[in-house]
A and B are shown apart, each in its own frame.
Chain A
Amino acid sequence: MARSDKLYSVAAIFDKPDGIIHAAEKVKDAGYKQFDVNTSYPIHGMDNAMGLSSSKVGYVTLAAGLFGGTFILLFMWWTLAESYPLFIGGKPFFSLPAFFPITFETSILFGAVATFIALITVFFKLPYNNHPLHDTNYMKRVSVDKYGIYILAEDEKFDKDEIIELFKSLGASSIELIYLPKEEKYGMLQPKFMLFLLVVIVGISGATYFTLNKLMYMTPFNWMEYQDKSNPQESSLFFADKRSMRTPVEGTVARGFIPYPYKGIAYPKEVLSNPTLPSKEILKLGKEKYLTFCSPCHGDYGEGTSRLNGQFPTGPTQHSDKVRNYKDGMLYHIITNGQNSMPAYDKQISRKERWAIVDYIRVLQRAKNAKKSDLVEIKKESSTNGQ
């Protein structure tokens, strides 16, 4: 660094730690404020000798630590008990014992990081690489094994000769005058700087583009996602019929599943008996399925009023005597097997659902032909329900 002729400070070097402590005390007692001691390691008792108060770093740590802990605790409460409550291991949504470890770790993390940042930037005011002390002979010596003290020219009491005398009387081994570095001016529009800026801009935007548009879509390997197998409904060149899905061998029966015995017979001699009881759930299911599959042709109440405006043949009414006299099993058979132009529904509707539909049809029939006693019952029920 080139130096100007403006004085920055007067510095003295001492050889022994006792000397520097003594010097610091005397300088303080002489009333100087703007002075500092440089030693390559902390010297015990120097803070007292220089008259420094104790450090305030601890408050930063405490505040940041408390903030971090509170923050993460609230965060965990919000995520697991509020935003998306998850029931885990029979524990309450908000469980302090389980949240304690993370709270603790985060307090430490916040405390440590905040302390570090505050220490460097606020307390040390670093980085400061162009400080006048750098690159001086003084600095090179205190950095190794000497003990240095300097008084700034800014000090109110500053008097060069007086200070040199003071240092000499204290037994300094050498005294050095440190001058401020020459002010160097850097214009913003220097070609080198502009080039640097350009490189930075291109580099950052290129990297961003690459990351967001290319890197994020790269799969390290894709054979887990795309495996050598056929998915349902896919065509396959392997088989002559070009279908990847194979029909099971003739006569295959699924486990625990007895095939319907009257399949394909239009008017079976005997039919199955109804295995369900018309409970509330069954009727609810039956209603749902009836409205989905049956009502388009047979009408919402089974009256044979198609909702399809004649596009399809209208289904017969469910309230004819013929139908009302059918056994449950016969209705089931018709749904399963189809009748006339009605297709078989055994592929779409499960067994239980078919029986549920039968039960529901019975309800519709009963509603259409209600007796007096039914009304009494209904009235009774609705009056008790209304309470």
Chain B
Amino acid sequence: MANNDSGYIKKELPKSVGKLGAILFLIGAVTGLIGFFIDPGRAAYSYLTSFLFLISISVGSLLLVAIEYAANAVWSTPFRRISEFLAASLPLLLILIIPLLLSVQSLFSWSHSAEVAKDPMLQAKSVYLNTPFFSVRVYVILILWGLFYYLIIKYSRKQDETGDQLLTKKNVKLSVIFIPIFAITVTLLSIDWIMSLETRWFSTMFGVYLFAGITCSALAALTYIAVKLKEKGYLHPKITKDHFYSLGTLMFVFISFWGYIAFSQYMLIWYGNLPEETFWFMQRWAGGWKIVSIFIIFGHFIVPFAVLLSHESKTSFKKLKFISIWILAMHFIDLYWLVMPGMNANGLEYSFSWMDISFLVATIGLIIYMFNRMFEKHNLLPVKDPKLQRGLDFHL
């Protein structure tokens, strides 16, 4: 049943891409390492921000793959491999988490026994917020992600050879199981690694907020690479503007969703005006953070919303490239804005540090490097996917 004359020819990326990734990663990693020696406390915060950024892109991409299977979407099938490649850093997270676990003490005030002894609120939460349980949790989460990544990708690649429809069926099943697991794990991750930086704060919406940001960034990464590959002629010629229009629309939808969630969360806390909630936003409205907050409102919502509103810009390669890079940058700033003011809660004074940049550079390098590696080894098009032909024939 599967069709195989998709007309796909495998092409190599220029050597410079892999080199660029490796160099960026090395520069970032080395300077970051120096940072850890100079000021381990400050470096931990920078590392955490970049780590969350890496998580966003990798697990977000896996989520996109899973959604495609679960929703039985066809137009995105020709793009699926890009997301699969982007998710390739997922197994590495198991190693990359170690520096963070080593610096739990410098990140989280609940990990200091002296603090806990002073504060009854921390004592009440210590059942959940304690270093052993915390480390186990994050490992369970990362292993689960790794497992699903491994299985889904394995079946997807196997299909390139066999074209067996059963493999799609298996992946559909895996995906529908992965999606609820993703929902719960991302929520736990958001509570553990971001919300608990400021131990007293809580918001039931927070997991959804992070989810919205993650999806935006994964989509933006996918769009940027897809446009870039299309321009350089790597993509199938039957992938037309209609496909990119759909990508643009999806980005538009998730940007709006992010705006909706962010507004609702802020509005309810602002309206309720309870001291146990508002302090979190007040912290982000003090000093220079106020500018960052306002910038996020515009940069993460209003600008992309306005740019992506028109039909024309959703099909224009130039605008898509611009806005996807913009969204990625904004997602990083958003994470920065979530994490960094937590330093004050931990008794540290925030100031900008070069380490923030070096870890970001390392992350970007890693993503490029892994993408290139996957690109070398595997097909860019799921050549024998049963949905591929319909996906290529897709028209609005």
The answer to A–B direct touch (Cβ < 8 A) is yes
Interface residues of A (CB under 8 A from B): 89-90, 97-98, 100
Q: In the docked arrangement, what's the CA distance between A8 and B270, Å? A: 66
The 8 closest A-B pairs by CB, nearest first: A97-B267, A97-B270, A90-B273, A97-B266, A98-B271, A100-B263, A97-B271, A100-B267
Distance (whole angstroms) from the CB of A104 to the closest CB of chain B: 10
Interface residues of B (CB under 8 A from A): 263, 266-267, 270-271, 273
12 A/B residue pairs, CB under 8 Å, sorted by A: A89-B271, A89-B273, A90-B273, A97-B263, A97-B266, A97-B267, A97-B270, A97-B271, A98-B267, A98-B271, A100-B263, A100-B267
Contacts of A98 in B (CB 8 A): 267, 271
Q: In the docked arrangement, what's the CA distance between A98 and B273, Å? A: 13
Contacts of A89 in B (CB 8 A): 271, 273
Q: In the docked arrangement, what's the CA distance between A54 and B270, Å? A: 44
Q: Which residue from chain A places its CB closest to the CB of B270 in the assembled complex?
A: A97
Distance (whole angstroms) from the CB of A40 to the closest CB of chain B: 22
Q: In the docked arrangement, what's the CA distance between A89 and B272, Å? A: 9
Q: In the docked arrangement, what's the CA distance between A90 and B274, Å? A: 12
Q: In the docked arrangement, what's the CA distance between A89 and B266, Å? A: 16
Q: In the docked arrangement, what's the CA distance between A100 and B264, Å? A: 11
Q: In the docked arrangement, what's the CA distance between A98 and B266, Å? A: 11
Q: In the docked arrangement, what's the CA distance between A97 and B271, Å? A: 8
Distance (whole angstroms) from the CB of B270 to the closest CB of chain A: 5
Q: In the docked arrangement, what's the CA distance between A312 and B270, Å? A: 66
If A97-B270, A100-B263 are given as contacts, then 10 extra A-B residue pairs at C-beta distance below 8 Å, sorted by A number, are A89-B271, A89-B273, A90-B273, A97-B263, A97-B266, A97-B267, A97-B271, A98-B267, A98-B271, A100-B267
Q: In the docked arrangement, what's the CA distance between A242 and B327, Å? A: 83
Number of A-B contacts defined by CB within 8 Å = 12
Q: Which residue from chain A places its CB closest to the CB of B269 in the assembled complex?
A: A97
* Max chain B Cβ within 10 angstroms of own Cβ: one of A89, A97, A100: A97
Q: In the docked arrangement, what's the CA distance between A90 and B278, Å? A: 14
Q: In the docked arrangement, what's the CA distance between A343 and B73, Å? A: 96
Q: Which residue from chain A places its CB closest to the CB of B310 in the assembled complex?
A: A58
Q: In the docked arrangement, what's the CA distance between A90 and B273, Å? A: 9
Q: In the docked arrangement, what's the CA distance between A192 and B273, Å? A: 68
Q: Which residue from chain B places its CB closest to the CB of A98 in the assembled complex?
A: B271
Distance (whole angstroms) from the CB of A120 to the closest CB of chain B: 23
Contacts of B266 in A (CB 8 A): 97
Distance (whole angstroms) from the CB of B302 to the closest CB of chain A: 13
Distance (whole angstroms) from the CB of B298 to the closest CB of chain A: 13
Contacts of B273 in A (CB 8 A): 89-90
Q: In the docked arrangement, what's the CA distance between A115 and B266, Å? A: 32
Contacts of A90 in B (CB 8 A): 273
Q: Which residue from chain A places its CB closest to the CB of B267 in the assembled complex?
A: A97
Distance (whole angstroms) from the CB of B381 to the closest CB of chain A: 26
Q: Which residue from chain B places its CB closest to the CB of A44 in the assembled complex?
A: B395
Distance (whole angstroms) from the CB of B344 to the closest CB of chain A: 24
Contacts of A97 in B (CB 8 A): 263, 266-267, 270-271
Q: In the docked arrangement, what's the CA distance between A90 and B270, Å? A: 11
Distance (whole angstroms) from the CB of B142 to the closest CB of chain A: 37
Q: In the docked arrangement, what's the CA distance between A55 and B125, Å? A: 59
Contacts of B263 in A (CB 8 A): 97, 100
Q: In the docked arrangement, what's the CA distance between A300 and B55, Å? A: 86
Contacts of A100 in B (CB 8 A): 263, 267
Q: Which residue from chain A places its CB closest to the CB of B268 in the assembled complex?
A: A97
Distance (whole angstroms) from the CB of A105 to the closest CB of chain B: 14
Q: In the docked arrangement, what's the CA distance between A52 and B367, Å? A: 46
Distance (whole angstroms) from the CB of B144 to the closest CB of chain A: 38
Q: In the docked arrangement, what's the CA distance between A45 and B271, Å? A: 51
Distance (whole angstroms) from the CB of B369 to the closest CB of chain A: 43
Q: In the docked arrangement, what's the CA distance between A331 and B263, Å? A: 67
Contacts of B270 in A (CB 8 A): 97
Q: In the docked arrangement, what's the CA distance between A90 and B275, Å? A: 14
Q: In the docked arrangement, what's the CA distance between A302 and B167, Å? A: 108
Q: In the docked arrangement, what's the CA distance between A383 and B251, Å? A: 74
Q: In the docked arrangement, what's the CA distance between A100 and B259, Å? A: 13
Contacts of B271 in A (CB 8 A): 89, 97-98
Q: Which residue from chain B places its CB closest to the CB of A90 in the assembled complex?
A: B273
Q: Which residue from chain B places its CB closest to the CB of A45 in the assembled complex?
A: B395
Q: In the docked arrangement, what's the CA distance between A103 and B135, Å? A: 46
Distance (whole angstroms) from the CB of B278 to the closest CB of chain A: 12
Distance (whole angstroms) from the CB of A110 to the closest CB of chain B: 17
Distance (whole angstroms) from the CB of A94 to the closest CB of chain B: 14
Q: In the docked arrangement, what's the CA distance between A90 and B263, Å? A: 20
Distance (whole angstroms) from the CB of B243 to the closest CB of chain A: 17
Distance (whole angstroms) from the CB of A146 to the closest CB of chain B: 25
Q: In the docked arrangement, what's the CA distance between A89 and B267, Å? A: 14
Distance (whole angstroms) from the CB of B22 to the closest CB of chain A: 47
Q: In the docked arrangement, what's the CA distance between A80 and B125, Å? A: 43
Q: In the docked arrangement, what's the CA distance between A193 and B9, Å? A: 77
Contacts of B267 in A (CB 8 A): 97-98, 100
Q: In the docked arrangement, what's the CA distance between A98 and B270, Å? A: 9
Q: In the docked arrangement, what's the CA distance between A98 and B267, Å? A: 7
Distance (whole angstroms) from the CB of B296 to the closest CB of chain A: 15
Q: In the docked arrangement, what's the CA distance between A100 and B270, Å? A: 13
Q: In the docked arrangement, what's the CA distance between A97 and B269, Å? A: 11
Distance (whole angstroms) from the CB of A90 to the closest CB of chain B: 7
Q: In the docked arrangement, what's the CA distance between A90 and B272, Å? A: 11
Distance (whole angstroms) from the CB of A103 to the closest CB of chain B: 12
Q: In the docked arrangement, what's the CA distance between A100 and B301, Å? A: 15
Q: Which residue from chain A places its CB closest to the CB of B266 in the assembled complex?
A: A97
Q: In the docked arrangement, what's the CA distance between A383 and B233, Å? A: 91
Q: In the docked arrangement, what's the CA distance between A109 and B275, Å? A: 36
Q: Which residue from chain A places its CB closest to the CB of B395 in the assembled complex?
A: A44
Distance (whole angstroms) from the CB of B281 to the closest CB of chain A: 11
Distance (whole angstroms) from the CB of B235 to the closest CB of chain A: 24
Distance (whole angstroms) from the CB of B312 to the closest CB of chain A: 10
Q: In the docked arrangement, what's the CA distance between A98 and B268, Å? A: 10
Distance (whole angstroms) from the CB of B376 to the closest CB of chain A: 40
Distance (whole angstroms) from the CB of A164 to the closest CB of chain B: 35
Q: In the docked arrangement, what's the CA distance between A100 and B263, Å? A: 10
Q: In the docked arrangement, what's the CA distance between A55 and B106, Å? A: 59
Q: In the docked arrangement, what's the CA distance between A97 and B285, Å? A: 15
Distance (whole angstroms) from the CB of A115 to the closest CB of chain B: 16
Q: Which residue from chain B places its CB closest to the CB of A95 in the assembled complex?
A: B270
Q: In the docked arrangement, what's the CA distance between A97 and B266, Å? A: 8
Q: In the docked arrangement, what's the CA distance between A104 and B263, Å? A: 13
Q: In the docked arrangement, what's the CA distance between A98 and B271, Å? A: 8
Distance (whole angstroms) from the CB of B168 to the closest CB of chain A: 28
